[in-house]
Amino acid sequence: MKKHWLLGGTALLAISLAACGSTEGASESGAKTEAVEADGKNTASTSEEQAKETRISYLGDEYTFPNPAENIVAASLEAMEDAAVLGVKPVGVLEIAGEVPGYLAKELKGAALIGDKFSPNAEAILSLDPDAIIGTSKWNEEVMAKMNKIATTLPYSHISTNWKDNLLAFGQLTGKTAEAEKVISDYDTKAAKAKAELGNSAADKEVLIIRVRGGLMNIYPAGVYLNPVLYEDLGLKVPETLTAAKAQQELTLETLSKINPDIIFLQFEKSENADAPSALKDLQKNPIFTNLKAAKNGDVHVNVIDPLAQGGTAWSKVKFLDAAVEKLVK
Protein backbone atom coordinates (compact mmCIF):
# COMPACT_ATOMS: atom_id res chain seq x y z
CA MET A 1 0.00 0.00 0.00
CA LYS A 2 2.79 2.37 0.90
CA LYS A 3 4.48 1.52 -2.35
CA HIS A 4 1.37 2.50 -4.33
CA TRP A 5 1.08 5.73 -2.35
CA LEU A 6 4.66 6.65 -3.20
CA LEU A 7 4.05 5.99 -6.83
CA GLY A 8 0.95 8.09 -6.71
CA GLY A 9 2.82 10.91 -5.02
CA THR A 10 5.50 10.78 -7.66
CA ALA A 11 2.88 10.95 -10.35
CA LEU A 12 1.19 13.91 -8.69
CA LEU A 13 4.52 15.71 -8.37
CA ALA A 14 5.26 15.15 -12.04
CA ILE A 15 1.83 16.44 -12.99
CA SER A 16 2.32 19.47 -10.73
CA LEU A 17 5.71 20.26 -12.23
CA ALA A 18 4.36 19.86 -15.72
CA ALA A 19 1.52 22.19 -14.88
CA CYS A 20 3.95 24.78 -13.48
CA GLY A 21 6.09 24.46 -16.57
CA SER A 22 3.08 24.90 -18.76
CA THR A 23 1.98 27.96 -16.82
CA GLU A 24 5.45 29.53 -16.95
CA GLY A 25 5.72 28.79 -20.67
CA ALA A 26 2.39 30.41 -21.25
CA SER A 27 3.50 33.38 -19.19
CA GLU A 28 6.74 33.73 -21.16
CA SER A 29 4.88 33.29 -24.43
CA GLY A 30 2.42 35.95 -23.36
CA ALA A 31 5.27 38.34 -22.52
CA LYS A 32 6.87 37.75 -25.90
CA THR A 33 3.55 38.30 -27.65
CA GLU A 34 3.04 41.57 -25.78
CA ALA A 35 6.57 42.64 -26.72
CA VAL A 36 5.97 41.84 -30.39
CA GLU A 37 2.68 43.71 -30.29
CA ALA A 38 4.41 46.66 -28.64
CA ASP A 39 7.17 46.62 -31.27
CA GLY A 40 4.53 46.48 -33.95
CA LYS A 41 2.78 49.49 -32.46
CA ASN A 42 6.10 51.37 -32.20
CA THR A 43 6.96 50.54 -35.82
CA ALA A 44 3.54 51.65 -36.98
CA SER A 45 3.83 54.82 -34.93
CA THR A 46 7.27 55.55 -36.39
CA SER A 47 6.00 54.92 -39.92
CA GLU A 48 3.07 57.24 -39.32
CA GLU A 49 5.41 59.95 -38.05
CA GLN A 50 7.70 59.47 -41.05
CA ALA A 51 4.71 59.63 -43.37
CA LYS A 52 3.85 63.03 -41.93
CA GLU A 53 7.32 64.37 -42.73
CA THR A 54 9.56 64.76 -45.75
CA ARG A 55 13.24 64.81 -44.91
CA ILE A 56 15.47 66.27 -47.58
CA SER A 57 19.24 66.05 -47.68
CA TYR A 58 20.40 69.11 -49.61
CA LEU A 59 23.98 70.27 -50.17
CA GLY A 60 25.24 68.74 -46.93
CA ASP A 61 22.35 69.74 -44.65
CA GLU A 62 19.08 68.10 -43.61
CA TYR A 63 15.68 69.79 -43.82
CA THR A 64 12.34 68.51 -42.53
CA PHE A 65 9.04 69.56 -44.08
CA PRO A 66 5.41 68.52 -43.55
CA ASN A 67 4.17 65.78 -45.86
CA PRO A 68 2.39 66.68 -48.01
CA ALA A 69 3.78 70.21 -48.45
CA GLU A 70 0.79 71.81 -50.13
CA ASN A 71 1.35 75.52 -49.49
CA ILE A 72 4.73 76.35 -50.97
CA VAL A 73 6.10 79.87 -51.21
CA ALA A 74 8.63 80.35 -53.99
CA ALA A 75 10.61 83.25 -52.54
CA SER A 76 13.36 83.32 -55.16
CA LEU A 77 13.37 83.58 -58.93
CA GLU A 78 15.35 80.34 -59.06
CA ALA A 79 12.57 78.54 -57.18
CA MET A 80 9.94 80.15 -59.40
CA GLU A 81 11.68 78.90 -62.55
CA ASP A 82 11.94 75.38 -61.15
CA ALA A 83 8.28 75.48 -60.10
CA ALA A 84 7.34 76.34 -63.68
CA VAL A 85 9.44 73.45 -65.04
CA LEU A 86 7.93 70.92 -62.61
CA GLY A 87 4.37 72.16 -62.98
CA VAL A 88 4.12 73.17 -59.32
CA LYS A 89 1.73 75.98 -58.35
CA PRO A 90 3.21 78.00 -55.47
CA VAL A 91 0.81 79.95 -53.26
CA GLY A 92 3.22 82.90 -53.18
CA VAL A 93 5.87 84.27 -55.55
CA LEU A 94 8.12 87.30 -55.94
CA GLU A 95 7.11 90.31 -57.99
CA ILE A 96 8.89 92.40 -60.57
CA ALA A 97 7.47 95.91 -60.95
CA GLY A 98 4.35 94.85 -59.07
CA GLU A 99 3.61 91.76 -61.17
CA VAL A 100 4.53 88.12 -61.57
CA PRO A 101 7.55 88.20 -63.94
CA GLY A 102 6.20 88.10 -67.47
CA TYR A 103 8.21 85.10 -68.60
CA LEU A 104 6.66 82.97 -65.82
CA ALA A 105 3.23 84.61 -65.64
CA LYS A 106 1.34 81.79 -67.36
CA GLU A 107 2.79 78.96 -65.24
CA LEU A 108 2.50 80.86 -61.94
CA LYS A 109 -0.85 82.53 -62.54
CA GLY A 110 -2.93 82.97 -59.39
CA ALA A 111 -0.05 83.07 -56.91
CA ALA A 112 -0.05 85.85 -54.32
CA LEU A 113 2.73 88.44 -54.50
CA ILE A 114 5.13 88.47 -51.54
CA GLY A 115 7.42 91.40 -52.34
CA ASP A 116 10.62 91.61 -54.34
CA LYS A 117 13.77 89.49 -54.17
CA PHE A 118 15.61 92.00 -52.00
CA SER A 119 12.95 92.25 -49.29
CA PRO A 120 10.31 89.52 -49.25
CA ASN A 121 7.35 90.53 -47.10
CA ALA A 122 7.26 88.31 -43.99
CA GLU A 123 3.67 89.32 -43.15
CA ALA A 124 2.46 88.47 -46.64
CA ILE A 125 4.21 85.10 -46.49
CA LEU A 126 2.83 84.35 -43.01
CA SER A 127 -0.71 85.04 -44.20
CA LEU A 128 -0.36 82.23 -46.76
CA ASP A 129 0.24 79.67 -43.98
CA PRO A 130 3.12 78.00 -45.89
CA ASP A 131 4.27 74.43 -45.35
CA ALA A 132 7.60 75.30 -46.97
CA ILE A 133 9.50 78.33 -48.22
CA ILE A 134 12.00 78.04 -51.06
CA GLY A 135 14.35 80.98 -50.58
CA THR A 136 17.83 81.72 -51.83
CA SER A 137 21.40 81.36 -50.65
CA LYS A 138 21.79 85.09 -51.42
CA TRP A 139 19.83 86.03 -48.28
CA ASN A 140 21.70 87.16 -45.21
CA GLU A 141 21.30 85.39 -41.86
CA GLU A 142 18.71 87.88 -40.61
CA VAL A 143 16.33 87.29 -43.51
CA MET A 144 16.85 83.52 -43.38
CA ALA A 145 16.12 83.43 -39.63
CA LYS A 146 12.94 85.44 -40.16
CA MET A 147 11.74 83.05 -42.85
CA ASN A 148 12.53 79.96 -40.76
CA LYS A 149 10.30 81.29 -37.99
CA ILE A 150 7.41 81.11 -40.44
CA ALA A 151 8.22 77.71 -42.01
CA THR A 152 11.23 75.55 -42.81
CA THR A 153 13.13 77.40 -45.51
CA LEU A 154 15.34 75.83 -48.16
CA PRO A 155 18.21 78.20 -49.07
CA TYR A 156 18.11 77.50 -52.80
CA SER A 157 21.57 77.79 -54.29
CA HIS A 158 22.13 80.56 -56.84
CA ILE A 159 25.27 78.82 -58.13
CA SER A 160 24.53 77.43 -61.56
CA THR A 161 26.44 74.20 -61.05
CA ASN A 162 23.98 73.24 -58.25
CA TRP A 163 20.97 73.28 -60.56
CA LYS A 164 20.42 69.53 -60.38
CA ASP A 165 20.51 69.53 -56.56
CA ASN A 166 17.97 72.35 -56.58
CA LEU A 167 15.58 70.63 -58.95
CA LEU A 168 15.80 67.25 -57.21
CA ALA A 169 15.16 68.82 -53.80
CA PHE A 170 12.11 70.65 -55.16
CA GLY A 171 10.96 67.43 -56.79
CA GLN A 172 11.28 65.47 -53.55
CA LEU A 173 9.40 68.16 -51.61
CA THR A 174 6.49 68.15 -54.05
CA GLY A 175 6.33 64.45 -54.94
CA LYS A 176 7.72 65.12 -58.40
CA THR A 177 11.07 63.35 -58.19
CA ALA A 178 10.42 61.38 -61.38
CA GLU A 179 9.64 64.59 -63.28
CA ALA A 180 12.79 66.26 -61.97
CA GLU A 181 14.94 63.30 -62.97
CA LYS A 182 13.46 63.30 -66.47
CA VAL A 183 14.16 67.02 -66.95
CA ILE A 184 17.78 66.43 -65.96
CA SER A 185 18.15 63.36 -68.14
CA ASP A 186 16.61 65.08 -71.16
CA TYR A 187 18.88 68.09 -70.74
CA ASP A 188 22.04 66.00 -70.41
CA THR A 189 21.12 64.06 -73.55
CA LYS A 190 20.40 67.22 -75.52
CA ALA A 191 23.62 68.92 -74.35
CA ALA A 192 25.74 65.89 -75.26
CA LYS A 193 24.18 65.78 -78.72
CA ALA A 194 24.73 69.52 -79.24
CA LYS A 195 28.36 69.24 -78.12
CA ALA A 196 28.94 66.46 -80.64
CA GLU A 197 27.30 68.50 -83.41
CA LEU A 198 29.49 71.50 -82.65
CA GLY A 199 32.62 69.38 -82.77
CA ASN A 200 35.61 71.62 -83.35
CA SER A 201 33.67 74.32 -85.19
CA ALA A 202 33.54 76.58 -82.12
CA ALA A 203 36.64 75.30 -80.33
CA ASP A 204 38.79 78.35 -81.09
CA LYS A 205 36.06 80.98 -80.81
CA GLU A 206 35.90 83.49 -77.98
CA VAL A 207 32.29 83.43 -76.77
CA LEU A 208 31.22 85.81 -74.02
CA ILE A 209 28.01 86.39 -72.07
CA ILE A 210 27.56 90.00 -70.93
CA ARG A 211 24.77 91.19 -68.64
CA VAL A 212 24.03 94.92 -68.53
CA ARG A 213 22.94 95.95 -65.04
CA GLY A 214 22.78 99.46 -63.63
CA GLY A 215 23.96 100.76 -67.01
CA LEU A 216 27.22 98.78 -66.78
CA MET A 217 28.46 95.68 -68.54
CA ASN A 218 29.03 92.72 -66.22
CA ILE A 219 30.59 89.28 -66.57
CA TYR A 220 30.51 86.23 -64.27
CA PRO A 221 32.85 83.38 -63.36
CA ALA A 222 32.71 80.32 -65.62
CA GLY A 223 30.52 78.45 -63.12
CA VAL A 224 27.96 81.22 -62.59
CA TYR A 225 24.88 82.51 -64.43
CA LEU A 226 24.49 81.04 -67.95
CA ASN A 227 28.20 80.38 -68.39
CA PRO A 228 28.21 76.64 -67.55
CA VAL A 229 26.04 75.96 -70.60
CA LEU A 230 28.81 77.27 -72.83
CA TYR A 231 31.96 76.22 -71.03
CA GLU A 232 30.92 72.96 -69.37
CA ASP A 233 27.98 71.52 -71.27
CA LEU A 234 29.13 72.55 -74.75
CA GLY A 235 32.85 72.44 -73.97
CA LEU A 236 33.77 75.90 -75.30
CA LYS A 237 36.99 77.61 -74.32
CA VAL A 238 36.79 79.73 -71.16
CA PRO A 239 37.96 83.32 -71.82
CA GLU A 240 40.92 84.22 -69.60
CA THR A 241 39.04 87.20 -68.19
CA LEU A 242 36.48 84.88 -66.60
CA THR A 243 39.07 82.73 -64.84
CA ALA A 244 40.04 85.67 -62.64
CA ALA A 245 36.45 86.69 -61.85
CA LYS A 246 35.21 85.65 -58.37
CA ALA A 247 31.69 87.01 -58.69
CA GLN A 248 29.75 89.48 -60.82
CA GLN A 249 32.37 91.85 -62.15
CA GLU A 250 32.20 95.01 -64.21
CA LEU A 251 33.60 94.77 -67.73
CA THR A 252 35.00 97.95 -69.25
CA LEU A 253 34.94 98.70 -72.95
CA GLU A 254 38.75 98.73 -72.96
CA THR A 255 38.91 95.20 -71.53
CA LEU A 256 36.19 94.03 -73.90
CA SER A 257 38.19 95.43 -76.79
CA LYS A 258 41.23 93.39 -75.72
CA ILE A 259 39.16 90.21 -75.52
CA ASN A 260 37.54 91.04 -78.86
CA PRO A 261 35.12 88.08 -78.75
CA ASP A 262 33.83 86.31 -81.84
CA ILE A 263 30.35 85.93 -80.39
CA ILE A 264 28.57 87.94 -77.67
CA PHE A 265 25.36 87.03 -75.88
CA LEU A 266 24.09 90.32 -74.44
CA GLN A 267 21.37 90.35 -71.76
CA PHE A 268 19.55 93.59 -70.93
CA GLU A 269 16.53 93.91 -68.61
CA LYS A 270 14.77 97.26 -68.25
CA SER A 271 14.00 96.84 -64.55
CA GLU A 272 17.71 96.29 -63.84
CA ASN A 273 18.63 99.48 -65.66
CA ALA A 274 15.96 101.88 -64.45
CA ASP A 275 18.52 104.65 -63.97
CA ALA A 276 20.10 104.03 -67.36
CA PRO A 277 17.28 103.10 -69.76
CA SER A 278 19.34 103.92 -72.86
CA ALA A 279 22.39 101.90 -71.77
CA LEU A 280 21.88 99.16 -74.37
CA LYS A 281 21.42 101.56 -77.28
CA ASP A 282 24.36 103.66 -76.13
CA LEU A 283 26.56 100.58 -75.96
CA GLN A 284 25.58 99.38 -79.40
CA LYS A 285 26.44 102.79 -80.85
CA ASN A 286 29.80 103.09 -79.10
CA PRO A 287 32.68 103.06 -81.64
CA ILE A 288 34.74 100.64 -79.54
CA PHE A 289 31.83 98.21 -79.41
CA THR A 290 30.98 98.50 -83.11
CA ASN A 291 34.59 97.65 -84.01
CA LEU A 292 34.52 94.32 -82.18
CA LYS A 293 34.66 91.17 -84.33
CA ALA A 294 31.31 90.05 -82.96
CA ALA A 295 29.66 93.34 -83.91
CA LYS A 296 31.20 93.43 -87.39
CA ASN A 297 30.14 89.85 -88.11
CA GLY A 298 26.61 90.27 -86.80
CA ASP A 299 27.26 87.95 -83.87
CA VAL A 300 26.00 90.14 -81.03
CA HIS A 301 22.82 88.43 -79.86
CA VAL A 302 20.58 90.42 -77.51
CA ASN A 303 18.23 88.66 -75.08
CA VAL A 304 18.24 85.22 -76.73
CA ILE A 305 16.26 84.17 -73.62
CA ASP A 306 14.31 86.39 -71.25
CA PRO A 307 16.74 88.81 -69.58
CA LEU A 308 15.28 88.05 -66.15
CA ALA A 309 16.21 84.37 -66.45
CA GLN A 310 18.45 83.48 -63.52
CA GLY A 311 20.84 81.24 -65.44
CA GLY A 312 21.39 78.52 -62.86
CA THR A 313 18.08 76.69 -63.18
CA ALA A 314 16.62 73.98 -65.37
CA TRP A 315 14.34 76.55 -67.07
CA SER A 316 17.23 78.87 -67.92
CA LYS A 317 19.58 76.12 -69.04
CA VAL A 318 17.09 74.41 -71.34
CA LYS A 319 16.09 77.70 -72.97
CA PHE A 320 19.63 79.01 -73.33
CA LEU A 321 21.05 75.73 -74.64
CA ASP A 322 18.61 75.79 -77.55
CA ALA A 323 19.27 79.46 -78.29
CA ALA A 324 23.06 79.20 -77.99
CA VAL A 325 23.35 76.18 -80.25
CA GLU A 326 21.23 77.94 -82.87
CA LYS A 327 23.67 80.87 -82.93
CA LEU A 328 26.83 78.77 -82.69
CA VAL A 329 25.99 76.27 -85.43
CA LYS A 330 26.22 78.04 -88.78
- Assess whether pLDDT exceeds 60 at residue 240: yes
Measuring CA to CA, which residue among 321, 156, 305 is closest to residue 236? 321
Q: Are residues 105 and 221 in the same domain?
A: no
Provide the Cα torsion 71, 73, 77, 83; round to 10°: -10
Whether residue 27 lies inside any domain: the answer is no
Looking from the CA of 185 toward its CB, the CA atoms found within 13 Å total 6
Does residue 261 sit in helix, strand or coil? Answer: coil
Percentage of the chain beyond pLDDT 70 is 85
Q: Is 263 a domain residue?
A: yes
Cα separation, 240 vs 317, in Å, equals: 23
Q: Give the start-end residues of each E strand in the chain.
A: 53-58, 61-66, 72-74, 92-93, 112-113, 132-134, 153-154, 207-213, 216-219, 249-250, 263-268, 300-302
Do the domain assignments include residue 230?
Answer: yes
In one letter, which amino acid is 52? K
- Is there a domain that residue 76 lies in? yes
**Same structural domain for residues 165 and 99?**
yes
* pLDDT mean over 292-307: 97
78 lies in the same domain as 157: yes
Q: Is residue 290 part of a domain?
A: yes
The answer to which of 20-24, 111-115, 142-146, 200-204 has the lowest mean pLDDT is 20-24
Same domain, 236 and 318: yes
Taking the C-alpha atoms of residue 146 and residue 26, their distance in angstroms, rounded to an integer, is 59
169 vs 117, which has greater pLDDT?
169
pLDDT of residue 318: 96
230 and 115 together in one domain: no
Do the domain assignments include residue 214? yes
pLDDT at 182 over 70: yes
Tell me the pLDDT band of 31, cut-offs 50, 70 and 90.
very low
The predicted pLDDT at position 47 comes to: 53
* Pure H helices in 52-158: 77-86, 122-126, 141-150
Q: Examine residue 261 and say whether the peptide bond preceding it is cis (omega within 30 degrees of 0).
A: no
**Same-domain status, 148 and 206:** no
Q: Which residues form the domain of 288?
A: 199-328
Q: Are residues 66 and 166 in the same domain?
A: yes
Same domain membership, residue 261 and residue 318: yes
Give the mean model confidence (pLDDT) for residues 74-90: 97
Q: Residue 35 has what pLDDT?
A: 43
Looking at the structure of the chain, the number of domains it has is 2
- Name the nearest CA neighbour of 112 among 82, 88, 89: 89
In a domain, 25, yes or no: no
Q: Is the pTM of this model over 0.85?
A: no
Tally Cβ neighbours within 10 Å of residue 148. Answer: 13
Q: Residues near 321 by Cβ (< 8 Å), separated by ≥ 6? A: 187, 190, 191, 194, 229, 233, 234
Q: Are residues 166 and 223 in the same domain?
A: no
Same domain, 228 and 162: no
CATH number of residue 204's parent domain: 3.40.50.1980
Residue 50 or residue 41, greater confidence: 50
